[in-house]
Amino acid sequence: MGVKSLNVTEVARHFSDYVNRAVDRRERFLLCKGRKPVAELRPIPSGRRLGDLPSVLASLPRLSKREAEAFSEDIRRSREKLMREGIRDPWAS
């Protein structure tokens, strides 16, 4: 969806309606004084930034030594099984 240009006076008269449209419909509005763009009303992106990843990972629970070893063994056995059986095409008839 594109950006709709609106006069600042129009937005001021119906501000809550435009904010609701930005939030609910993810619409973006370019606010103009006369014909000159002066601001933008848009939804804030949801989710997290990539720069937050280190702190998110640091906040996760840690595996115990026993759990990590068991997990590693599961992966090793799965790889061996995959090598024995080979990869098959799920779309092949």
Amino acid, single-letter form, for residue 26: R
The angle formed by the CA atoms of residues 78, 83 and 88, to the nearest 5 degrees, is 100
pLDDT of residue 85: 87
Supply the pTM of this predicted model: 0.51
Tokens of 63: 């595996």
Assigned CATH for 3-41:
3.40.1620
Rounded-to-integer distance, Cα 13 and Cα 7, Å: 10
Mean residue pLDDT of the chain comes to 92
Rounded-to-integer distance, Cα 33 and Cα 82, Å: 64
User: 3-class SS at 36?
Assistant: strand
- pLDDT tier, 2 (very low <50, low <70, confident <90, very high otherwise): confident
pLDDT of residue 1: 62
Give the Å distances, CA to CA, from 92 to 13, 83, 88.
61, 19, 8
Domain coordinates of the chain in residue numbers? 3-41
Summarize the confidence of residues 61-78 as an average pLDDT: 96
